[in-house]
Amino acid sequence: MASLTLFEKIWRRHEVEAAREGRPAVLYVDLHLIHEVTSPQAFAMLDARGIPVARPARTLATIDHSTPTGAPDAAGERSWANPATRAQVEKLLANCQRHGITVHGWDSPHRGIVHVMAPELGHTQPGMTIVCGDSHTSTHGAFGALAFGIGSTEVAHVLATQCLLKRKPRTLAVHVEGCLAPGVTAKDLALHLIGLIGVDGGTGHVIEFRGSAIRALSMEGRMTLCNLSIEMGAPAGLIAPDATTIEWLRGRPAAPVGVDFENAARDWLSLASDPGCHYDREVHVDATTVRPSVTWGTDPGKVVPIDGCIPIEADANAAKALSYMGFTPGAAIAGQPVDVVFIGSCTNARLPDLRDAAAVLRGRKIHPRVRMLVVPGSEAVKRAAEAEGLDRVFRDAGAEWREPGCSMCIGMNGDIARPGELVVSTSNRNFEGRQGPGVRTVLASPATAAASALAGAIAAAASTLAEEAA
């Protein structure tokens, strides 16, 4: 039998009809995730035709994007950014109820950012096809699931037929060999790779991350990396399921149990790319060269090591970014004054991320100029962090410990900074205005973000810790 890639194996298992005579393949979707922002128009498309949701049990909903992250007041009232955000949430709850779709709303102990919640509950499983009206659906690729973002029209397609029309993407193997140095996280690796591959380098491709450095990552680290595949232009990233994947999934509420789990696990391990399989492109990266990294510009590919310098402008695009960021070409990125620090998002708001940040902050105070928001990725992450006392560490340091949601990653819920302010953020996009009009964003790992909160300026976590030891 021909050698197949992980991608090819999943694709073949879901092809209801292969592409032919100029039309795309019909691809079956195992798990469809929805949230309040990109689904209302899709439900309206079904309503306009008077058709039902075909397989409501295969869709799972949460509220995350426009939800307030302040605690409700004594009367249970929430601090909605505006009536429209509230209407979106109410619309989703109503649509789910009407169509028999499970939704993790305010009363659910599992509610969370869609890409944090679904894996946590064990809905995300190897070999699946998973889609959501959200580009960071690539996150679920960490489990060896083919997962990608779709638009609202396609959300309607999936609701109505459980299928999508899809052209087969090409494959790009990114081999990362060697050990990441201590203090270098999956986020740093991802930023490094975006810088290397470029924000359009993966366009039209599914990336498979391979190699010893990838196998050494925790599931959370793999999710961080696959989450950022879309920032390399690739709608999906993939990592082959292995023992780490299987142990992480064992015992999750939606995972199979007993002998079913063992059978599933054997099948999942068989999904790994076969020796000698063919990729359309391959890139090799030496993990030992990766350093803690941050962005300096207005797209996630404009990356420097934290001890590096802001580049001397090379082209019009870089010049435009530099002028928006207000950075001086050639200056050190470390030491740039910081106004706000955000720890959160589907990229970096899982328990290990919060632990990394708390380890830097423990027993210290953030800089008086800095406002720091810590927003756990889900109710479950929040509970687990509180059980460990991480909330106290953050509060004692002077940070705000908030309710789960997307928050400042996208700023739809009113969590934004002021024009001109510089935010060090553990999220995924530093686009102009992403965190509020005129706001400047620097992407970083949780440890770097926490260290920057202490210093009141962009700072490496390692130096903070060394100082403590001295």
Partner 1 sequence: MNPIHRIESRSVALPTANIDTDQIIPARFLTTTTREGLGRHAFHDWRWLPDGSPNPDFSLNRPEHAGAAILIAGHNFGCGSSREHAPWALLDAGIRCVISTAIADIFRNNALKNGLLAIVVPAEVHASLLEHAGERLAIDLERERIEREDGSAIPFTIDPFARDCLLAGVDELGWLLARRPQIEAWEERRAWNA
Spatial contact of 361 and 451, defined as CB atoms under 8 Å apart: no
Instruction: CB nearer to partner 1: give 330 or 437.
Output: 437
**Distance in angstroms (rounded) separating the CA atoms of residues 224 and 235:** 15
Residue 425 as a binder of ligand SF4 (CB under 6 A): the answer is: no
Residues β-bridged to residue 282? 173
**Candidate residues 12, 18, 44, 387; the one interacting with partner 1 per rule CB under 8 A:** 44
Q: Would you say the C-alpha torsion 26, 118, 154, 168 has a positive or negative sign? A: negative
345 interface partner picked from ligand SF4, partner 1, none, CB below 5 to 8 A per type: ligand SF4
Spatial contact of 442 and 458, defined as CB atoms under 8 Å apart: yes
**Distance in angstroms (rounded) separating the CA atoms of residues 458 and 450:** 10
Residue 149 as a binder of partner 1 (CB under 8 A): the answer is: yes
32 interface partner picked from partner 1, ligand SF4, none, CB below 5 to 8 A per type: none
**Distance in angstroms (rounded) separating the CA atoms of residues 144 and 128:** 8
66 interface partner picked from ligand SF4, partner 1, none, CB below 5 to 8 A per type: partner 1
**Distance in angstroms (rounded) separating the CA atoms of residues 373 and 344:** 8
290 interface partner picked from ligand SF4, partner 1, none, CB below 5 to 8 A per type: none
165 interface partner picked from partner 1, ligand SF4, none, CB below 5 to 8 A per type: partner 1
CA atoms within 13 A on the CB side of 455: 23
Residue 222 as a binder of partner 1 (CB under 8 A): the answer is: no
**CA angle 407-413-419, nearest 5°?**
85
Q: Would you say the C-alpha torsion 118, 119, 124, 130 has a positive or negative sign? A: positive
What's the gap between Cα 301 and its chain centre? Answer: 16
**Distance in angstroms (rounded) separating the CA atoms of residues 137 and 140:** 6
**Binding track over 311-350 against ligand SF4, x by CB under 6 A:** ----------------------------------xx----
How many Cβ atoms from other residues are within 10 Å of residue 57's Cβ?
A: 9
Q: Which region, judged by CB under 6 A, interacts with ligand SF4, from 113-121, 162-170, 235-243, 309-317?
A: 113-121
**Candidate residues 234, 409, 444, 454; the one interacting with ligand SF4 per rule CB under 6 A:** 409
**Binding track over 388-407 against ligand SF4, x by CB under 6 A:** ------------------x-
**Candidate residues 111, 123, 291, 434; the one interacting with partner 1 per rule CB under 8 A:** 434
DSSP-derived letter for residue 457 is: B
Interface residues toward partner 1, by CB under 8 A: 16-17, 22-24, 26, 28, 37-38, 40-41, 44-45, 49, 51, 54, 65-66, 81-82, 84-85, 87-88, 91, 133-135, 137, 148-154, 156-157, 160-163, 165, 167, 169, 199-200, 203-204, 233, 235, 299, 301, 317, 320, 410-412, 419, 429, 431-434, 437
